[in-house]
Amino acid sequence: MTEGALSRQTAERLIEAAIAAPSMHNSQPWRFVARLADRVMEIYADPARTLRRGDPHGRGVHIACGSALFNLRLAVAQAGSAPVARLLPSPRNPLLLASVRLGGPYRPQPAERDLFEAIGRRHASHRSATSHPLPRGLLAGLMEAATLEGATLRLLDHTDALRILRRSAAADPGLRSDPGYLAELAAWTGGLRTSHRPHDVQPGPGRAHGNGHPAGRLVMRDFPVRPDGRPSPPAAMETASQLAVISTIADDRASWLRAGQAAQRVLLLAAHRGLQAAPLTPVLDEQEATLRTDAFLDGEYPAMILRLGYGRPARATPRRPVGQVLRVIPLAGVHQSPRPGQDKSPGDGPPPALPPADRQLMPSK
């Protein structure tokens, strides 16, 4: 790609890759702006798609947008430009989480091509893993992947896994009995139909896993909520998966974005190497406080627990169309026709000023 202005088609292609990222309950809490003349793509948190009860401080939003950022960086490299990423580039706009400028000509490394190709094949797997052990070289590669993104991937042996899951489970019983949380969960995962259900929600996983069972088995993470509003009963899960924790040295918004990028690099490498993997659970606020005291984490802040293993490939979950999440700021004086089937793009014009209420959703930590 030459260093001229960005085309709308290229911007759309880049966003196709970005939105394949995982998100909590498939909430897809992002919006993008393409500034064609500046060759800059921006990632915003979408306050309409945040989980007020399940993710009150936006940790999960930042992790999801960090994962989308990692995909975007790969797609920019694949398109032949050096990705120049900035986290939280505007202190005055807390919803602007990251930007990526398409820099000079760039030839992607074979490893980057592999990761890019894995974007469409990576799906969160909620199926049982086989007991086939994961090769040590692969595990070392996954740990290195997290380090490259400024985070740490800690592999849990059986004893650590039981202890971490037990501590993590013990930390969130309040949430499980909170009707607001359960209603929100149902709205996003397709169980209970409520008036709070976002109109364009894409069903999240029908089966999902989460916190630990004291007996050491994994249990369903209250998905799907039953029609009567009560969480599903715990279901037995194999313990063959390799569990791992992604952690960062700080617990602020930039660190959560780094954790998201690290998680996505790990998940894409896992997909490339034939592993099935899934975020098992985001670390919720109460859990973070409990888990932090665990010596295993060496004083770092846990961001997410991952589950890795061999098994049957998972199916894709739907995404909102690119036209719904991308605003294009066209070149001054150049008229770009809408694509067939697309009305006037929501990006045709300056981005809206964000109302103060939106800003409060993303407090600095």
**Binding-residue total with ligand FMN (CB under 6 A):** 24
Distance of CA 239 to the CA centre of its chain: 24
Residues 56-115 that bind ligand FMN (CB under 6 A): 60, 63-64, 67
Query: DSSP string spanning 93-142?
Result: -TTEEEEEEEEEE----HHHHHHHHHTTT--B--SPPPSPPPPHHHHHHH
Take residue 65 and report the two structure tokens written for it. Answer: 């947008």
Q: Which of 221, 253, 272, 327 binds ligand FMN (CB under 6 A)?
A: 221
Interaction between residue 17 and ligand FMN (CB under 6 A): no
The secondary structure element, H or E, covering residue 271 is helix 253-272
| CB of 25 vs ligand FMN, minimal distance in Å | 6
3-class DSSP state of 43: strand
Output the CA angle 225-228-229, nearest 5 degrees: 45
Is there a contact between 340 and 360 (Cβ–Cβ < 8 Å)? no
Is there a contact between 189 and 231 (Cβ–Cβ < 8 Å)? no
Residue among 41 and 70 whose Cβ is closer to ligand FMN: 70
Q: What is the largest CA-CA distance in the chain?
A: 65
Q: Which of 23, 152, 248, 276 binds ligand FMN (CB under 6 A)?
A: 23
Residue among 101 and 123 whose Cβ is closer to ligand FMN: 123
Interaction between residue 208 and ligand FMN (CB under 6 A): yes
Interaction between residue 281 and ligand FMN (CB under 6 A): yes
Residue among 313 and 338 whose Cβ is closer to ligand FMN: 313
Interaction between residue 168 and ligand FMN (CB under 6 A): no
Segment interacting with ligand FMN (CB under 6 A) among 31-39, 208-216, 230-238, 293-301: 208-216
Interaction between residue 265 and ligand FMN (CB under 6 A): no
Beta partners for residue 304, in sequence order: 246, 282
Chain residues in the site for ligand FMN (CB under 6 A): 22-26, 60, 63-64, 67, 123-124, 126, 204-205, 208-210, 221, 278-282, 317
